[in-house]
Amino acid sequence: MKDKNITEFENLITRLLKIDTISWCKYALKKDLLHKKVEPAFFDEVVKKSLQCGKNEAMNIAKSLSSHDIYHTAKNLGIYLKIIEQQVGANYLSFATFTTPNKIVINCTPIQRAVNLLNSCPTNPLPNLSYDLLLKIIFAHELFHFLESKNRSTIYTKNVKIVLWQFLWLKCKSNLRVASEIAAFSFAQEYCELDFSIFVLDFVLCYSFSSDFAKKIFDNVVKTGD
Ligand SMILES: [Zn+2]
């Protein structure tokens, strides 16, 4: 990558690292198709409870496992973990997927590119973010989705619903997908004991493929935070 772009990347990420978690969550809400149906006060409650839900699940799983090694954890919990190498583009950004009941697939190509990008900065803004740690963070995010699918009848994120429409005594409700995503990020933050807001990684991973696409994330997050 050219020096000019590296400088730009470093400036943008330095700014994003100062954005608080609530602003990141509001940005995540905007990506949810149902966001216009969510009242601000209700959304504040969803954010608070989703962050707490992810944190609690991470603390519970940490108590029940003797190791935080991802392969050991996957084996212990009966998860089929597959690491693949696949190019991604601005139109198709997929870093990892969880498929019920127990399959997690992680694409290591964007992970390697994101780490290379950070290492090419004159002053790496996230010096502790190694390939292994980023792999673990992405695994942890998907691990939360595995745990919530196993506990779907009781876990907060699978039971928080919004009313899409109401007519007389009829109500049509829908799950709020963003609650799961916020909790998954919060889970990974706690599980990996990170000292920076994990949401910034969305920007880093995207920038390594498309600076234009990542700059749109930057603009939206900064606008939301103002
Ligand atoms: Zn997710």
Calculate how far, in angstroms, residue 172's C-alpha sits from the geometric centre of ligand 1: 25
Q: List, in order, residues 6 or more apart from 36 with CB less than 8 Å away.
A: none
- Residue 192 pLDDT > 90: yes
Neighbours of 221 (CB within 10 A): 23
Calculate how far, in angstroms, residue 44's C-alpha sits from the geometric centre of ligand 1: 20
Q: What SS3 class is residue 3? A: helix
The pLDDT score that the predictor gives to residue 88 is 74
Calculate how far, in angstroms, residue 220's C-alpha sits from the geometric centre of ligand 1: 19
Among residues 16, 40, 15, which one has the least CA distance to residue 29? 40
Neighbours of 197 (CB within 10 A): 17
The pTM (predicted TM-score) of the whole model is 0.91
166-185 tens-digit pLDDT: 777 777 777 888 999 999 99
Instruction: Please state, in angstroms and rounded to a whole number, the distance separating the CA atoms of residues 167 and 172.
Output: 9
- Residue 64 pLDDT > 80: yes
Place of tokens 């149902």: 34
Instruction: Please state, in angstroms and rounded to a whole number, the distance separating the CA atoms of residues 14 and 110.
Output: 20
Calculate how far, in angstroms, residue 100's C-alpha sits from the geometric centre of ligand 1: 13
Instruction: Give, for 146, the enclosing helix (H) or strand (E).
Output: helix 131-150
pLDDT band at residue 92 under the 50/70/90 scheme: low
Calculate how far, in angstroms, residue 97's C-alpha sits from the geometric centre of ligand 1: 8
Q: List, in order, residues 6 or more apart from 62 with CB less than 8 Å away.
A: 68, 191
